[in-house]
Chain A
């Protein structure tokens, strides 16, 4: 009974075609393709090209294909230059398992709002293409995708090292030299050289191949397949992609998952591959320099290396102390301004008070001289705002005495007859005002 039911279901399923829809972006163009998967392989349809300004049109086309073929996988490739293969999985990064202890990782998955159910790293594709050729000897595998070389040293057990090299703006000779220097750098670390070189290119690159062969002095086995065909192959069978497609970053610790959950995870994740950019951005953490960074430093002179390292340190410290520095500067600026204003205020206050004192002193002086009138003649005077001392000749004693006493009531007026029949007067008084 069960066998009959399964047979019926199988017939029903076979009436629906399983397709793989593939798309990727190279420079300013999106490339879309779909292929009907059969038991004998896939039958690829025509490749369509969309300019990046026609993104909506591309999305609409994918939607139509999905409607047309309900059994589908939408597959794309990550052309991120920062992805590397590591021995340990970092759950805060987007990752895909290649070997048991080899994970390809990148900071985040960014597919720009395009529908994707399976997302592959070039490293996963390279491994899938060459895994049957790997043995105990070290093989250098190179893939050229979107003007970037994805390179890895691999044996049948693991991927020893991986890195990416940008080729944009470089001549074939420069690219080849960089590959050679990278190999040298790896040799310095591991004392190993590759015995074979395998190269996978989506497009024909005869000049690069020729120069690489010359520079590395080794034969390179070339395989040419389009990205669409590579992706169709990856999506052909669930066994192919169950672990090798890239999953977005998660926060959970692997030990908390049961074995059964792990088995169920790939299919569940296919639906949950929401590729939330914000979440992955939050999970960014500071990391140790990767092999790629070390390689970049390897190409630079020692002085530049030191400079870059110092610069990185300084930038980090500056970023950390920037708010504190801003607060200090603001505080110091306003403190200095406040002190300056206070000094000016103090100066104005002294000037104003002094002006009043001087005006009073000027008035006292004027009063003293005016008081002499025709009653006397002043010879010497010491005048301040506290007291006055006057000395001179007097002709009209009473008028002068009255005048001075009217000005300074507590004054002491004295007269002294002189030998020449003149009279000398002295007057002293304390002034209580000011």
Chain B
């Protein structure tokens, strides 16, 4: 083996050396790092699934879209409208009866489990004749 290597041309030797150096200094550490990250990902996924199951959510998280959001919240609230503000920001307007406030609480608790979004601005409530008009701003991530 060593004799065979000795007989190789200089360019070939250099290429093989570069290959070895890259393998040791780049490929092997990357593989180990990837394996470590993979384990962390599994652990985090398990933890996230535990949270989801606590709220009885069995579906995977979705990318936020006006159509999806409206379809999903249609049954929960009296009226829902979504307005895109740009840069992945959306202004959501919800009308609901005051007695349905508990539904809103559950909805808000599970919002980021169902969609890749977070509430970025304070919630603004206006109450008139037992009807709550809520305005919230969310940002997709």
Identify the A interface with B (CB < 8 A): 282, 320-321, 323-324, 327-328, 330-331, 334-335, 337-338, 341-342, 344-345, 347-352, 354-355, 357-359, 361-363, 365-366, 369, 377-384, 386-387, 392
B76 interface contact, C-beta 8 A: no
Q: Which of B14-22, B65-73, B77-85, B87-95 contacts A (4 or more CB under 8 A)?
A: B14-22
Q: Which residue of B lies closest to A346 (CB)?
A: B141
Would you call A330 and B27 a contact (CB within 8 A)?
yes
Knowing A321-B15, A379-B126, say if A348 contacts B44 (CB, 8 Å): yes
Q: How far is the CB of A318 from chain B (nearest CB, A)?
A: 12
Q: How large is the interface on B (under 10, 10 to 19, 20 to 34, 35 or more residues)?
A: 35 or more
Distance in angstroms between the alpha carbons of A320 and B13 in the assembled complex:
10
- Classify the secondary structure of B's interface with A: helix
Looking at the complex, which one of B23, B112, B119 makes contact with A327 (CB distance below 8 Å)?
B23
A-B contact count (CB 8 A): 128
Distance in angstroms between the alpha carbons of A352 and B110 in the assembled complex:
10
Contact with A along B99-126 (1 / 0, CB 8 A): 0011011101111110011110111111
Knowing A351-B112, A352-B51, say if A379 contacts B34 (CB, 8 Å): no
A328-B22, A345-B41 provided; 5 other pairs, C-beta below 8 A? A327-B19, A347-B141, A377-B127, A381-B127, A392-B127
* Residues from chain B with Cβ under 8 Å of A386 in the complex: 122
Would you call B27 and A334 a contact (CB within 8 A)?
yes
Would you call A335 and B30 a contact (CB within 8 A)?
yes
Would you call B22 and A365 a contact (CB within 8 A)?
no
Would you call B12 and A362 a contact (CB within 8 A)?
no
Distance in angstroms between the alpha carbons of A381 and B128 in the assembled complex:
12
Would you call A338 and B33 a contact (CB within 8 A)?
yes
* Residues from chain A with Cβ under 8 Å of B141 in the complex: 347, 350
Q: How far is the CB of A355 from chain B (nearest CB, A)?
A: 5
Looking at the complex, which one of A282, A341, A342, A383 makes contact with B123 (CB distance below 8 Å)?
A383
B4 interface contact, C-beta 8 A: yes
Q: Which of B18, B26, B34, B117 has the most CB of A within 10 A?
A: B34
Q: Which residue of B lies closest to A342 (CB)?
A: B37
Looking at the complex, which one of B19, B40, B111, B123 makes contact with A382 (CB distance below 8 Å)?
B123
Would you call B101 and A383 a contact (CB within 8 A)?
no
Identify the B interface with A (CB < 8 A): 3-4, 11-12, 15-16, 18-19, 22-23, 26-27, 30-31, 33-34, 37-38, 40-41, 44-45, 47-48, 51, 61, 98, 101-102, 104-106, 108-113, 116-119, 121-128, 141
- Classify the secondary structure of A's interface with B: helix
Q: List 26 A-B contacts (CB under 8 A).
A: A282-B4, A320-B15, A323-B16, A323-B19, A324-B19, A327-B22, A327-B27, A331-B22, A335-B30, A337-B34, A342-B37, A345-B37, A351-B48, A352-B51, A355-B110, A358-B112, A359-B108, A359-B109, A361-B119, A362-B104, A365-B105, A380-B126, A380-B127, A381-B127, A382-B122, A387-B122
Would you call B41 and A378 a contact (CB within 8 A)?
no
Knowing A347-B141, A352-B47, A355-B112, say if A384 contacts B123 (CB, 8 Å): yes
Distance in angstroms between the alpha carbons of A359 and B122 in the assembled complex:
14
Knowing A341-B38, A345-B40, say if A379 contacts B128 (CB, 8 Å): yes
* Residues from chain A with Cβ under 8 Å of B30 in the complex: 331, 334-335, 338
Looking at the complex, which one of B26, B119, B124 makes contact with A358 (CB distance below 8 Å)?
B119
Looking at the complex, which one of A331, A344, A354, A378 makes contact with B127 (CB distance below 8 Å)?
A378
Would you call A362 and B108 a contact (CB within 8 A)?
yes
Q: How far is the CB of A347 from chain B (nearest CB, A)?
A: 7
